[in-house]
């Protein structure tokens, strides 16, 4: 039989009102009481009726995650991270995939906000990087947290979780240079994503720091996809100036580049070093395994949800990291030139 709030209150030795205050994450509850109630909630697997609570109360207990990203691993980690925070704080998650290029995008999001009674939105690129889009949503009187690429947030429209792709990219490129590589190819993701811009900037800065000329012929435009890695690697490896290493803008691109290189009879890493970015399962499922930059997407997502819920409840922010720098992980796909 499904546990009720009465069961939790009875076993924890507190009132129903206290259980409700704990589930609503109200700051007035003493920490020992909160821990005792949550231990019983966990033991009984108590699930509050959030839909009924949304309808009955003056507060909203749902947040929405809006995204347009073909990378399934990224989306799953984002969802799981947000859900971890929601479960701890008694919130529901509304997942809303959509196309940034859709003609009715604003109308669709506006209707979702008006009819779903949400406490706030978590935006990822490209939505988070579009100030006009963010301003439109803020006009609907909803809280927003943006996950963005960059060292500093570009404006004060809404709280941000920043990813320092520039610094991580500089580190990856320097790793290749330290191995003796000078002809380093770069396969980009979508140009409209700031992650692409920042990773390209980091790549170029590392070359500049080491007095290596930037050759635009070694830079291939692409998308964040396996196919883009295949096509980009084929282009680079059949050009007049073949690279000895390829920096791929994410692990999916790198996996495609690795696949194409092998089809062309190029040994990895003996003849060509390849790096990825993000430390997704793609980086560990290839052979050889990919050198990459560890981007803790699940942790980033959980922090974004914690930040959003605290902001919507006007609560103090505790232990929330607002900037991450992906860390270099050296594996088997890179070697000395």
Q: Tell me which residue of 93, 97, 91 sits closest to 66, measured CA to CA.
A: 97
Q: Quote the tokens at residue 219.
A: 């830079």
Same domain, 228 and 312: no
Cα dihedral across residues 296, 249, 93, 319: positive or negative: positive
Same domain, 88 and 145: yes
Residue 22 within any structural domain of the chain: yes
pLDDT at 59: 57
Residue 97 within any structural domain of the chain: yes
pLDDT at 185: 98
Residue 11 within any structural domain of the chain: yes
Say if residue 327 is exposed, middle or buried (CB neighbours under 10 Å; 0-12, 13-18, 19+): middle
Residue 289 within any structural domain of the chain: yes
The rounded mean pLDDT for the chain is 90
8 A C-beta contact, residue 236 and residue 264 = no
Mean pLDDT (whole number) for 40-44:
83
Q: What is the CATH number of the domain that holds 315?
A: 3.40.50.2300
Residue 79 within any structural domain of the chain: yes
Same domain, 182 and 283: yes
The answer for residues whose C-beta is within 8 angstroms of residue 230's C-beta and 6 or more apart is 256, 257, 259, 260
Residue 31 within any structural domain of the chain: yes
Report the number of distinct structural domains present in the chain. Answer: 3
Q: Is 278 left (phi over 0), alpha (psi -120 to 50) or beta?
A: left
Same domain, 154 and 176: no
Domain's final residue, options 294, 309, 332:
294
Q: What is the CATH number of the domain that holds 29?
A: 1.10.260.40
Same domain, 145 and 234: no
Same domain, 111 and 169: no
Same domain, 264 and 287: yes
**Residue 57 confidence class, pLDDT cut points 50, 70, 90:** very low
Residue 285 within any structural domain of the chain: yes
**What's the pLDDT tens digit per position in 84-118?**
999 888 888 999 888 888 888 888 888 888 777 78
Within 10 A of 108 (CB to CB), how many other CB atoms are there?
15
8 A C-beta contact, residue 197 and residue 162 = no
pLDDT at 118: 87
Say if residue 306 is exposed, middle or buried (CB neighbours under 10 Å; 0-12, 13-18, 19+): buried
Same domain, 173 and 286: yes
15 lies in which domain range?
Answer: 5-48
pLDDT at 320: 77
Same domain, 22 and 104: no
8 A C-beta contact, residue 7 and residue 46 = yes
Q: How far apart are CA 67 and CA 50, in angstroms?
A: 23
Same domain, 206 and 193: yes
By mean pLDDT, which of 50-54, 226-230, 253-257, 290-294 is the weakest?
A: 50-54
**Residue 56 confidence class, pLDDT cut points 50, 70, 90:** very low
Mean pLDDT (whole number) for 57-65:
74
Same domain, 73 and 108: yes
The answer for residues whose C-beta is within 8 angstroms of residue 115's C-beta and 6 or more apart is none
Residue 50: is its pLDDT beyond 60? Answer: no
Same domain, 212 and 113: no
pLDDT at 49: 59
Residue 331 within any structural domain of the chain: no
């Amino acid at each position: 039989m499904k546990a009720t709030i009465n069961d939790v209150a009875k076993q924890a030795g507190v009132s129903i009102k206290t259980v409700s205050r704990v589930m609503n994450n109200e700051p007035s509850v003493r920490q020992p009481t909160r821990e005792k109630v949550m231990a019983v909630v966990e033991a009984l697997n108590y699930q509050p009726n959030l839909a009924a609570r949304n309808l009955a109360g003056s507060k909203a207990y749902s947040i929405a995650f809006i995204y347009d990203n073909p990378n399934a691993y990224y989306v799953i980690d984002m969802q799981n991270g947000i859900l971890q925070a929601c479960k701890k704080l008694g919130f529901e998650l509304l997942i809303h995939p959509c196309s940034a290029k859709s003609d009715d995008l604003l109308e669709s999001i506006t209707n979702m906000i008006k009819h779903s009674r949400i406490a706030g939105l978590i935006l990822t690129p490209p939505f988070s990087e579009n100030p006009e889009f963010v301003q439109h949503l803020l006009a609907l009187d909803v809280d927003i947290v943006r996950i963005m690429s960059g060292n500093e947030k570009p404006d004060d429209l809404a709280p941000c979780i920043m990813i320092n792709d520039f610094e991580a990219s500089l580190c990856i490129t320097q790793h290749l240079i330290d191995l003796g590589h000078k002809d380093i190819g770069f396969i980009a993701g979508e140009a409209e994503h700031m992650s692409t811009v920042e990773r390209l900037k980091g790549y170029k800065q590392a070359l500049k720091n080491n007095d290596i000329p930037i050759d635009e012929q070694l830079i291939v435009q692409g998308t964040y996809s396996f196919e883009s890695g295949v096509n980009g690697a084929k282009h680079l490896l059949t050009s007049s100036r073949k690279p000895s290493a390829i920096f791929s803008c994410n692990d999916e691109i790198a996996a495609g580049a690795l696949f194409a290189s092998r089809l062309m009879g190029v040994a990895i890493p003996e003849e060509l070093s390849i790096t990825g970015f993000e430390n997704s399962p793609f980086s560990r499922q290839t052979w050889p395994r990919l050198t990459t930059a560890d981007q803790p997407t699940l942790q980033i997502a959980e922090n974004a949800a914690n930040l959003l819920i605290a902001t919507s409840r006007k609560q103090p922010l505790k232990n929330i990291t607002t900037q991450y720098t992906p860390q270099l992980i050296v594996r088997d796909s890179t070697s000395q030139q």
